[in-house]
Amino acid sequence: MRVLIADDEPLARMRLEALLRECPGAELVGSVGDADAVLALLPEMRPDVLLLDIEMPGLSGLDLARRLKALPAPPQVVFCTAYEQHAVSAFDLAAADYLVKPVRGERLCAALRRAAQRRAEAPAGPPRRDHLCARIRGELKRVPLNAVLCLLADDKYVTVHHRDGSLLIEESLKQLELEFPGRFVRLHRNCLVPRERLLGLKSMPDGRTVAQIAGSDLAPEVSRRKLPALRELLRVE
């Protein structure tokens, strides 16, 4: 069972990490300090369970759990908090369990077993859509996912470049990553490309690296931070 920890206190994260090592079948895939980091890691880490603090800077644990409920296949949430008074709200959000700090090892293992059982019993979610949708002059326009060439973010809109042109959608790149896990690869913070369309990487005379995209002359730039992961992806696939 893949477990992600979210707690703004480093010592609390360290304690949970140590306790997880005593829980059979638990695999720690990440440990972060706020909700934004959770949202950023979800598409890549795909945790089965999220051990979630409530009082964190920025988005609270309860607010994050509300957002996660809208995802097609959200992780099971186990709240780990110092505050007993949020238990009712937590269970209203269908939390798998609610642990009060200091968390005991046997209690954590039991919560993970409960989360695993709930995950196994969860009904299949609604079919994942196979298109993106934009509104153009009052009419809805669909673009099949297999026609998408590249997604570029600019201000509050995302431009979808596709086989027949381009259009604007209001969904963010992060929302699309969460809805379609594994479908897109990120070239830099403002660009996603369908995994199957990434042909290769090309070094330019000015030192930049750009992506080669199947079926398109587009050559979006690749950030230096993303280069190692993209090179490894191309080697494996």
Q: Do 211 and 135 have their domain in common?
A: yes
Q: Do 19 and 91 have their domain in common?
A: yes
Provide the token pair at 90.
């937590």
Q: Where would I find the beta strands (DSSP E) of the chain?
A: 2-6, 27-32, 49-52, 76-81, 97-100, 131-136, 139-144, 148-154, 157-162, 165-169, 184-188, 191-194, 198-203, 209-213, 221-222
Question: pTM here?
Answer: 0.59
Q: Where would I find the beta strands (DSSP E) of 46-137?
A: 49-52, 76-81, 97-100, 131-136
Residues of the chain with pLDDT under 50: none
Domain boundary among 121, 147, 165: 121
Domain boundary among 76, 95, 121: 121
Q: Do 213 and 135 have their domain in common?
A: yes
Give pLDDT, residue 188: 94
Give pLDDT, residue 179: 82
Give pLDDT, residue 128: 66
- The tally of domains found in the chain comes to 2
Q: Do 75 and 154 have their domain in common?
A: no
Measured N-to-C along each axis, helices 105-121 and 10-20 cross at an angle, to the nearest 10 degrees, of: 70
Give pLDDT, residue 193: 96
Give pLDDT, residue 198: 93
Q: Do 85 and 67 have their domain in common?
A: yes
Give pLDDT, residue 219: 95
Give pLDDT, residue 78: 96
CA-to-CA distance for 146 and 89, rounded, in angstroms?
Answer: 40
Domain limits for position 144:
131-236
